[in-house]
C-alpha cells in the first residue's frame, strides 16, 4: 500500500468509532457459523411456525406498469433490465450490478406485481426464492435486503399467499420467522443511518406479527426512539443529508407510525419527527415533482414523493434547513437550492459527495443548472460522480473538496462549513452566502454568495477563492446544464441558454473566461444522459481569484 493510500485510510478511520470496527469484525466471525451446516441444522429443529398477522401498512401503491413487465419475466432495477422468465432462471445475471442483485432480493417489487394483479406470477417467483435462498446466503440474507424483504412480506403476504399450496404457506411462514430472528442478532449498528432504521422497522413489524417475537419489537421500538432524535435533525433533515434517503426515511417512519396507530400506541414521539422530516422532503422537491440531486440521490418517483409529503402533514418548505446546511431561494419563476452543510455524519458519510456550496436552479418549472447525480454505486465512475467537478460549484487544481474514495468512503473532509441567508423570506432580494475549508490542504478557502432578485428574474453570484500566497492555482466554476438545455457561447464572457420550451437565459461573467464542455446527467440509478456544462476559468490576482457572474431572463 502506497504512503498516500495509508494516509487516506488513516484519515477515514480516524472518524470511525471503535465499536463500529469491532461490530464489523464480529460480523465476519459470525458469517463463518452462518455458512456452516450447524446453522442450517439448528433451523431444522424448530416447531412449525404459526401464520403471522399481516401487519404491514400499504401506504404507497406500487407501479402497475413495472409489475406487468415482471409478470412477463422482465426484471428492471437500477437502470438494468434482464429477461429472466417466471420463475427467474437466475437471481444473479452475469452482468447485473450488486445494487440490482440487492434490489431483486428486497421483494419490494411485490407492491408492483400486486398493483398489476399478478398474484400467480408473484407466487412462482417467491416459491423459487424460498427454494434457493430460504437458508442463509451472504447476499440475500444481508441485513439490509433482508429487512426490506421482511417488511414487504408482512405487507403483501396475505395477498401473495391467497390460494397458495399449504407447503408454500408453511415454508413462507418458517423462513419469514427465521429471518426476523436472524436480523435481531445482526442489525447494522456499525453503519447506523437509514440502514439501521430499516432493520428496526422490520423487527417492529415482526414483533407485531408474532407474539413470541414481542421482545424483539419492544427492544426495536426503544432503539428507534433513541435513533429518531439523533438521525432527524431539528430542521427535519435526515443526518445523512441526501434528498433520496430523506424520502426513504420519511417512508419508513410513516409506515411505523401507521402500524403503531393501528395497534393503539402513543404517536407523540413520532408525529413531530414525521412532520419535520416531511417538510424537509418538500424542501428538496422541485416543481416537476422530483427531487434535487443531493448526495447519492436520483429524481425519484414524483407520485410517491407527493404521497409521502401529504401523509407526513408537511408544512410549507422553509428558506433554510440550518442544521442540514441547505438554502432554498424562491422568487417568481426562479428556484435555487444551495448546499452549505457538512458531508454527513462523521462516523458514516457513505452517501456524501464533494459538493460544497453547489447549487441547482429551476426556471419556470424546468431544471436548468443541476448536479450530475449518482448513476451507480459499483461502477468505475462512482467517484467521478461524487467528485467536486461533477457538481455546480468551484473546483481548485482539479481536486475534491472532500476526499471521496472506494465506493462509500470519505477521508479528508471540510471542518468548517457555514451557510447564511439574508433578506425577507417573502419579498425583496434574497441573499445566501457560504464558505468552507475543504481545500485547506491546498491552503485555499472558497466563499460563494448568491443574490436572487425580488422578482426572480436574475441570479447574481460571487465566487472567491483565497490562497495564502500568490501562485498558479487553477480555479474553475462549474455550471452543469440539464440535458434539455442548449448552450451557445457568444464570447468568453457571455453565453445563451435555450430551454426545452424555447425560453432563453443569458449568462454573463466578469473575472474569468467562459468555456463549454461535455457533461453528463444521471436522473435515475443506471441512467446516464449526455449534457453540457459551462465553466468559468478563474483569473488569479495576487492571493485571490474572484469570479462574478449573472444568470438572467
Kindly state the average pLDDT of the residues 121-135: 97
- Rg (C-alpha) for the chain, rounded Å, is 25
Task: Give yes or no for residue 45 having a pLDDT over 60.
Answer: no
Domain limit, last residue, from 293, 317, 341: 317
**Residues 306 and 337 placed together within one structural domain of the fold:** no
Closest CA to 206 of 162, 175, 228: 175
Kindly state the average pLDDT of the residues 96-119: 97
Domain limit, last residue, from 169, 200, 226: 226
Helix boundaries (H) for 376-432:
382-386
**Residues 56 and 139 placed together within one structural domain of the fold:** yes
Task: Give yes or no for residue 514 having a pLDDT over 90.
Answer: yes
* Residue 543 within a domain: yes
Closest CA to 109 of 143, 81, 137: 81
* Residue 10 within a domain: no
CA pair distance 218, 204, nearest whole angstrom: 8
The partner residues of 67 in beta bridges, in order of sequence, read: none
**Residues 219 and 302 placed together within one structural domain of the fold:** no
| Mean pLDDT of all residues belonging to the chain | 95
**Residues 311 and 356 placed together within one structural domain of the fold:** no
Kindly state the average pLDDT of the residues 337-344: 95
Task: CATH number of the domain at 168, please.
Answer: 1.50.10.100
pLDDT of residue 235: 98
**Residues 340 and 308 placed together within one structural domain of the fold:** no
**Residues 289 and 340 placed together within one structural domain of the fold:** no
* Residue 8 within a domain: no
**407, 362 contact by CB (below 8 A):** no
Task: Give yes or no for residue 425 having a pLDDT over 70.
Answer: no
Q: Place 389 in a pLDDT band, splitting at 50, 70 and 90.
A: very high
**Residues 346 and 253 placed together within one structural domain of the fold:** no
Query: Is the omega angle on the peptide bond into residue 87 within 30 degrees of 0, that is, cis?
Result: yes
**Residues 75 and 154 placed together within one structural domain of the fold:** yes
Domain limit, last residue, from 268, 300, 317: 317
pLDDT of residue 37: 82
pLDDT of residue 469: 83
Using CB atoms within 10 Å of the CB of residue 25, give its burial: 0 to 12 exposed, 13 to 18 middle, 19+ buried. exposed
pLDDT of residue 41: 65
**Residues 188 and 244 placed together within one structural domain of the fold:** no
pLDDT of residue 49: 87
The set of cell numbers assigned to 87 is: 420463475
Q: What are the DSSP calls for 163-182, one per residue?
A: T--HHHHHHHHHHHHHHHHH
CA count, 13 A, side-chain hemisphere, 303: 6
Q: Model confidence over 395-407: pLDDT tens digits? A: 999 999 999 999 9
Split into its structural domains, the chain has a count of: 3
Q: Place 5 in a pLDDT band, splitting at 50, 70 and 90.
A: confident
φ/ψ of residue 518, rounded to 5 = -70, 150
* Residue 384 within a domain: yes
pLDDT of residue 416: 93
For helices 119-133 and 143-160, angle between their N-to-C axes, nearest 10 degrees? 140
Using CB atoms within 10 Å of the CB of residue 289, give its burial: 0 to 12 exposed, 13 to 18 middle, 19+ buried. middle
Task: Give yes or no for residue 474 having a pLDDT over 60.
Answer: yes
Task: CATH number of the domain at 461, please.
Answer: 2.70.98.70
**Residues 339 and 306 placed together within one structural domain of the fold:** no
Kindly state the average pLDDT of the residues 125-141: 96
* Residue 245 within a domain: yes
- Domain region containing 381: 325-552
Specify the 3-state DSSP secondary structure of 328: strand
pLDDT of residue 369: 98
- The H or E element containing residue 150 is helix 143-160
**Residues 169 and 83 placed together within one structural domain of the fold:** yes
Q: Which of 2-6, 353-357, 364-368 has the lowest average pLDDT?
A: 2-6
Closest CA to 465 of 437, 507, 493: 437
pLDDT of residue 51: 95
Q: Model confidence over 152-198: pLDDT tens digits? A: 999 999 999 999 999 999 999 999 999 999 999 999 999 999 999 99
**Residues 370 and 304 placed together within one structural domain of the fold:** no
pLDDT of residue 281: 98
φ/ψ of residue 98, rounded to 5 = -60, -35
Q: Place 264 in a pLDDT band, splitting at 50, 70 and 90.
A: confident
* Residue 426 within a domain: yes
CA pair distance 68, 157, nearest whole angstrom: 19
Q: Place 214 in a pLDDT band, splitting at 50, 70 and 90.
A: very high
Long-range contacts of 121-127 (CB under 8 A, 24+ apart): 121/70, 121/71, 121/86, 122/71, 122/160, 123/160, 123/161, 123/164, 123/168, 124/86, 124/87, 125/70, 125/86, 125/87, 125/88, 126/160, 126/168, 126/172, 127/87, 127/168
pLDDT of residue 43: 60
Sign, CA dihedral 64-68-69-71, equals positive
pLDDT of residue 21: 86
Task: Give yes or no for residue 553 having a pLDDT over 80.
Answer: yes
* Residue 6 within a domain: no
Q: Model confidence over 299-333: pLDDT tens digits? A: 999 999 999 999 999 999 999 999 999 999 999 99
* Residue 128 within a domain: yes
Task: Give yes or no for residue 46 having a pLDDT over 60.
Answer: no
Global pTM? 0.95
Amino acid at each position: 500500500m502506497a504512503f498516500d493510500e495509508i494516509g487516506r485510510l488513516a484519515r477515514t478511520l480516524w472518524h470511525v468509532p471503535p465499536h463500529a470496527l469491532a461490530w464489523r469484525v464480529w460480523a465476519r466471525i459470525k458469517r463463518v457459523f452462518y455458512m456452516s451446516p450447524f446453522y442450517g441444522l439448528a433451523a431444522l429443529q424448530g416447531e412449525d411456525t404459526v401464520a403471522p398477522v399481516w401487519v404491514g401498512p400499504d401506504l404507497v401503491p406500487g407501479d402497475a406498469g413495472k409489475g406487468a413487465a415482471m409478470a412477463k419475466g422482465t426484471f428492471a432495477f437500477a437502470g438494468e433490465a434482464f429477461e429472466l422468465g417466471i420463475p427467474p432462471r437466475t437471481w444473479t445475471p452475469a452482468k447485473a450490478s450488486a445494487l440490482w442483485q440487492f434490489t431483486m432480493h428486497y421483494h419490494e417489487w411485490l407492491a408492483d406485481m400486486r398493483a398489476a394483479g399478478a398474484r400467480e406470477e408473484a407466487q412462482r417467483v417467491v416459491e423459487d426464492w424460498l427454494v434457493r435462498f430460504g437458508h442463509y446466503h451472504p447476499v440475500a440474507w444481508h441485513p439490509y435486503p433482508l429487512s426490506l424483504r421482511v417488511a414487504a412480506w408482512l405487507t403483501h403476504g396475505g395477498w401473495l399467499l391467497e390460494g397458495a399450496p399449504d407447503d408454500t404457506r408453511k415454508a413462507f411462514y418458517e423462513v419469514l420467522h427465521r429471518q426476523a430472528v436472524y436480523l435481531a442478532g445482526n442489525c447494522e449498528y456499525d453503519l447506523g443511518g437509514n440502514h439501521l432504521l430499516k432493520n428496526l422497522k422490520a423487527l417492529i413489524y415482526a414483533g407485531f406479527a408474532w407474539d413470541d417475537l414481542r421482545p424483539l419489537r419492544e427492544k426495536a421500538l426503544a432503539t428507534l426512539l433513541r435513533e429518531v432524535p439523533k438521525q432527524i435533525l431539528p430542521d427535519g433533515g435526515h443526518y445523512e443529508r441526501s434528498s433520496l434517503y430523506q424520502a426513504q426515511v420519511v417512508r419508513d417512519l410513516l409506515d411505523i407510525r401507521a402500524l403503531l396507530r393501528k395497534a393503539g400506541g402513543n404517536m407523540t414521539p413520532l408525529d413531530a419527527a414525521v412532520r419535520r422530516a416531511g417538510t424537509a422532503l418538500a424542501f428538496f422537491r422541485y416543481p416537476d415533482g422530483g427531487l434535487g440531486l443531493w448526495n447519492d440521490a436520483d429524481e425519484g418517483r414524483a407520485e410517491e414523493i407527493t404521497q409521502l409529503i401529504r401523509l407526513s402533514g408537511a408544512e410549507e418548505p422553509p428558506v433554510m434547513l440550518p442544521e442540514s446546511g441547505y438554502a432554498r431561494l424562491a422568487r417568481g419563476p426562479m428556484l435555487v437550492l444551495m448546499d452549505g452543510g457538512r458531508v454527513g455524519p462523521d462516523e458514516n458519510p457513505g452517501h456524501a459527495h464533494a459538493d460544497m456550496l453547489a447549487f441547482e436552479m429551476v426556471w419556470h418549472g424546468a431544471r436548468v443548472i443541476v448536479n450530475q447525480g449518482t448513476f451507480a454505486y459499483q461502477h468505475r465512475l462512482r467517484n467521478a460522480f461524487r467528485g467536486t467537478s461533477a457538481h455546480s460549484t468551484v473546483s481548485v487544481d482539479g481536486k475534491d473538496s472532500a476526499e471521496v474514495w472506494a465506493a462509500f468512503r470519505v477521508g479528508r473532509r471540510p471542518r468548517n462549513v457555514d451557510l447564511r441567508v439574508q433578506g425577507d423570506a417573502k419579498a425583496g432580494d434574497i441573499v445566501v452566502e457560504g464558505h468552507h475549508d475543504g481545500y485547506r490542504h491546498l491552503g485555499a478557502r472558497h466563499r460563494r454568495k448568491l443574490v436572487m432578485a425580488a422578482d426572480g428574474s436574475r441570479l447574481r453570484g460571487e465566487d472567491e477563492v483565497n490562497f495564502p500566497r500568490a501562485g498558479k492555482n487553477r480555479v474553475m466554476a462549474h455550471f452543469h446544464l440539464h440535458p434539455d438545455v442548449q448552450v451557445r457561447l457568444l464570447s468568453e464572457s457571455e453565453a445563451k441558454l435555450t430551454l426545452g420550451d424555447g425560453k432563453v437565459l443569458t449568462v454573463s461573467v466578469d473575472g474569468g473566461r467562459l468555456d463549454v464542455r461535455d457533461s453528463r446527467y444521471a436522473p435515475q440509478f443506471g441512467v446516464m444522459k449526455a449534457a453540457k456544462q459551462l465553466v468559468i476559468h478563474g483569473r488569479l490576482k495576487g492571493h485571490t481569484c474572484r469570479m462574478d457572474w449573472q444568470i438572467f431572463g
